[in-house]
Amino acid sequence: MIDQVFNNRYRVVRILGSGVSGLIYLAADTRHPDCPVCVIRQLKLPTKNPQALRRLQFLLTHKSETLERLAQTNQNPEIVNYFVENKKFYLVEEFVPDHPLNTLKKKSGQQPKDDQGLIRFQEMLTLAAKPPEPEVESPLISTSTQTSIANSGNWEIFPEKPLPKSANQSRLKRWRLPILVGGISLALGLGLMGLLSQNPDRIKAQEFFEQGVEHLKSGNVQGAIEAFDESIQLNPNNPLAYGNRGIAYDDLGAHQAAVEDYTKLIELAPSNTDAYYQRGLARYDLEDWQGAVEDFTELIQRKSNDDQAYYHRGIANYQLNQYKAAIADLDQAIQLNPQNAQAYAARGLVLSAMGNQQEAMADYTQAIEYNPNDAKAYYNRGRTRFHLADYRGAVDDYTQAIAIDPTDSMAYTNRCQAKFNLGNYRDAIADCTEAITQNPNNHIAYNNRCIAHLNLKDYQKALKDCSQSIRIEPSYENAYINRGEIRRKLGDNQGALEDYTQAIRLNPNNSVAYTNRARVRRKFGDNSGALDDYTKAIQLNPNNAFAYSGRGLTHAELGNTMEAINDFEQASKLHLDNGRIDQYNEAQLQLKTLR
């Protein structure tokens, strides 16, 4: 039950108790960047009351309006959301510490006298039968946000996998044949004119052209280029000789040479729409995104029903961070070809970059439906599920990606972290080990395996892995932070201090590195330096609860009681908002001692 995710959004932190009709959960809102905690009440649907069901339907279809009206009633705790899942109704309330409705403790076996969830649900059904009140002006309520700092290590997962830049094989299957056939027919026409005039150069040029075509068909790319070179030297006005040589250059990865040939093709045959497509893809491979956009735009103006042109322009716009333009292009690609799996997968990438994780999930799912063998779609959906705290779902998707491509080091690395977050440390180690087998230079896999060993208290193996991560990528700050933590646990405070300092050199804006270095400075009795580091950590991240706790302890040791109280009060709030109940209780204990 713990870590269960409701509505693809609310991850259960713990069970608070039960009401008459269902359980009451403390959960983290994973769609909020700071994952604040909330209370979720499970209620039975009024299946035998048609009128109540109609009102419930009204509540579900007018959610925004209903939540606004509920906010005007000034109820405490405030209802922030509601939904139906698996034939049960769930009511989401803000978490208010020490509020009787949010109490974390109850006597064993004692049921509440009145189910507050049912009472509030009945009030909502009654509200659904009333017309909305006129809008009234109300003051804005500012809410605090915070970023949690994992105290189990600095993990990293690989980002989404972009779609293949030009997908050479598929593009040539589509475009090479028309160009070659067109080239033969057009060149033959030109050749006939040459024959009529008894032009031996034209005849020889045509022979080399046809040799180039045969070489290209058989996969002899270098031979094709040499034949087209000869053909062009004898007849520099054959546009399709340039076009086919451009394809050969693309096959060799000589994309700039290909662009030059496609440009010459366009100069000699401006009406050849395929040339704009090919040049757009070559620019795509060169990461000349603006040039690619221009070519695909020219193609769309000439051929407005080409879903692939919209698709590729959408990807280029995505690379330019022009997300709205990318979405518009991919929408059009899907409209022209509703089964374009790549377009759905690409739109998922854009939506994810825009922070619309749920919509991205839906697009990845659609892409998988149309192409069940798309390992990248499974991988990207797994990554999205991970960020929504649906770790089991992430494991399932990474497993599917690995089944399709067993050599995918990135998928093993990310599944390693998802398993770690589920507490399966040994399985996580196995996945990171396989990731390293597939790619011995995968520094992230070494780092993540280091953290799994650290949580199993196997400090020597953890130290070895983090050190290897640093050897592979000396600028990888997370590995220094994690190795510093291992050295601190092994009693090597000087080594820990050096690692944290190096992490700060690499990234002076890393709040975690300052927090951890401050803790070591306290060990050395350098309370002044520790205060400086904790304060810097808070400046960089005002929601760093661990920095407030550490600075509070330092102030307490120095006899600065009021400053310590202020810090522990802030730490308490931040820990509670993030569902870290143990750390919240520790901060509360410190406050009781100080007061």
- Element spanning 94, H or E: strand 88-94
- d(Cα 77, Cα 56) in Å, to the nearest integer? 21
**For residues 183-195, average pLDDT:** 39
Q: How confident is the model over 350-387, as pLDDT tens digits? A: 999 998 888 999 999 999 999 999 999 999 999 998 88
pTM over 0.85: no
Residues 6+ apart with CB under 8 A from 311: 329, 330, 333, 340, 342, 343, 346
pLDDT at 541 over 90: yes
> Would you state the pLDDT for residue 123?
73
Give the residue-averaged pLDDT of 521-547: 96
What sign for the dihedral angle of Cα 46, 50, 51, 54?
Answer: positive
pLDDT higher than 60, residue 178: no
Confidence class for position 154, pLDDT limits 50, 70, 90: low
- Please state which of the ranges 93-97, 184-188, 246-250, 297-301 shows the lowest mean pLDDT: 184-188
Query: For residues 93 and 80, is the Cβ–Cβ distance under 8 A?
Result: yes
Inter-residue long-range contacts of 549-556, CB under 8 Å, 24+ positions, other chains counted: 549/575, 549/583, 549/586, 549/587, 549/590, 550/515, 550/518, 550/519, 550/522, 551/518, 552/587, 552/590, 553/522, 553/590, 554/518, 554/522, 554/527, 554/530, 555/531, 556/590, 556/594
Q: What is the pLDDT of residue 180?
A: 43
Q: Is the peptide bond before 77 cis (omega within 30 degrees of 0)?
A: yes
pLDDT-based confidence at residue 119 (cuts at 50, 70, 90)? confident
Q: Which letter does DSSP use for residue 140 in this model? A: -
Q: Write the pLDDT tens digit of every residue in 201-259.
A: 888 999 999 999 999 989 899 999 999 999 999 999 999 999 999 999 999 999 999 99
pLDDT tens-digit profile of 493-532?
999 999 999 999 999 999 999 999 999 999 999 999 999 9
Class of the CATH-defined domain 527-594 = mainly alpha
Q: How many CA atoms lie within 13 A of 218 on its CB side?
A: 11
Mean pLDDT over the full length of the chain? 83
Structure confidence at residue 169 (pLDDT) = 39
Domain boundaries of the chain, sorted by first residue: 4-97, 201-303, 527-594
Q: Smallest Cα–Cα separation from 535: which of 419, 31, 527?
A: 527
Burial class (CB in 10 A: 0-12, 13-18, 19+), 86: exposed
Is the pLDDT at 9 greater than 80, yes or no? yes
Residue 129 has pLDDT above 80, yes or no: no
Whether 4-97 shares its CATH topology with 201-303 is answered: no
- pLDDT at position 108 over 60: no
Q: Is the pLDDT of residue 136 over 60?
A: no
- 246-285 b/e with 16+ CB inside 10 Å = b? bbbbbbeebbebbbbbbebbbebbeebbbbbbbbbbbbbb
pLDDT higher for 191 or 460? 460
Q: What is the pLDDT of residue 159?
A: 58
User: Class for domain 201-303, per CATH?
Assistant: mainly alpha
Q: Is the pLDDT of residue 454 over 70?
A: yes
What integer pLDDT is reported at residue 156 of this predicted model?
A: 56
Residue in 556, 555, 503 with CA at minimum distance from that of residue 532: 555
Mean pLDDT of 46-50: 63
Q: What is the pLDDT of residue 114?
A: 53
Q: Does pLDDT of 162 surpass 60?
A: no
β-strand partners of 340: none
pLDDT of the residue at 449:
96
pLDDT at 87: 78
- Specify the length of the chain in residues: 595
Mean pLDDT for 110-129 is: 62
**Model confidence band, residue 19 (pLDDT cutoffs 50, 70, 90):** low
Q: Higher-confidence residue: 177 or 98?
A: 98
Instruction: Kindly report the CATH class assigned to 4-97.
Output: alpha beta
User: Which of 98-107, 173-182, 510-519, 528-537 is least confident?
Assistant: 173-182
- 95 pLDDT tier (thresholds 50, 70, 90): confident
* 3 sits in which H/E element: none
Residue with tokens 């491509």: 405
The pLDDT value given to residue 110: 44
Report the distance separating Cα 129 and Cα 189, nearest Å: 79
Closest CA to 183 of 144, 232, 145, 148: 232
Mean pLDDT in residue range 114-126: 69
pLDDT at 187 over 50: no
Decide if 282 contacts 262 (C-beta within 8 A): yes
Is pLDDT at 584 greater than 90 in this prediction? no
- Judge whether residue 83 has pLDDT over 60: yes
Q: SS3 for 406?
A: coil
Mean pLDDT of 265-269: 94
Asked if residue 194 has pLDDT above 60, the reply is no
Rg of the Cα atoms in the chain: 31
